């Protein structure tokens, strides 16, 4: 999946859950952090492994619970953004790297057919396969472009409400940088 969707989908989910907008936007870059393992030419291995995705954030959550309870929401947001990246990349990630170099994958296939009635065929392909490094990633894929286009159309239809939301988000971002609301 492309970085735009890695960033957009978890942010929209958290905002729909009415989590504090300022905190969501502050931790949103963590949603694309795992893709920086492409720098080491081990894309979907180094930072897609369970160590940076589970062990470190869970350690932060435990520390927050025991020593700094006021950090708990932040720790949970760190965990959510990192884990969302892996869930969205489940077409193949070396989750147990460096111990196992094979990729864990989960590829659901849903077919919809209207011939001879309404038919749904759902097939789940999952398991392990040999690691295949990905050196590059598209910034915006065809699916990402389609999602952005769909968002623009929804924005046009609901422009009054959308403009009010954009103005509100602008005030929040401005307040984040100036220290005022």
pLDDT by 10-residue block (mean), the chain, 181 residues:
83 86 91 86 85 89 92 92 89 86 83 75 85 65 64 67 72 73 53
pLDDT for 81 equals: 94
Contact 27, 81 (CB under 8 A): yes
Query: pTM, whole model, 2 decimals?
Result: 0.70
CA distance 70 to 50: 26
pLDDT for 29 equals: 92
- CB burial class (10 A; 0-12, 13-18, 19+) of residue 148? middle
pLDDT for 70 equals: 92
pLDDT for 166 equals: 72
DSSP state of 107: E
CA distance 44 to 93: 5
Phi, psi of 82 (to 5 degrees): -65, -45
Domain map (residue ranges) of the chain? 3-135, 141-181
pLDDT for 31 equals: 92
């Amino acid at each position: 999946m492309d970085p735009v969707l890695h960033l957009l989908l978890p942010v929209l989910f958290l905002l729909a859950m009415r989590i504090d907008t300022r905190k969501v936007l502050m931790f949103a870059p963590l949603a694309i952090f795992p893709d920086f393992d492409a720098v080491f030419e081990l894309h979907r291995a180094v930072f897609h492994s369970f160590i940076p995705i589970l062990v470190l954030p869970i350690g932060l959550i435990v520390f927050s619970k025991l020593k700094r309870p006021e950090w708990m929401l932040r720790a949970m947001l760190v965990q959510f953004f990192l884990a969302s990246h892996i869930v969205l990349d489940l077409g193949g990630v070396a989750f147990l790297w460096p111990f196992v170099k094979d990729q864990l994958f989960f590829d659901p296939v849903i077919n919809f057919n209207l011939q001879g009635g309404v038919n749904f065929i759902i097939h789940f392909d999952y398991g392990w396969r040999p690691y295949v490094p990905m050196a590059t990633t598209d910034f915006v894929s065809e699916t990402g472009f389609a999602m952005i286009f769909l968002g623009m159309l929804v924005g046009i239809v609901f422009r009054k409400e959308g403009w009010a939301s954009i103005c509100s988000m602008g005030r929040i971002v401005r307040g984040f940088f100036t220290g005022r609301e």
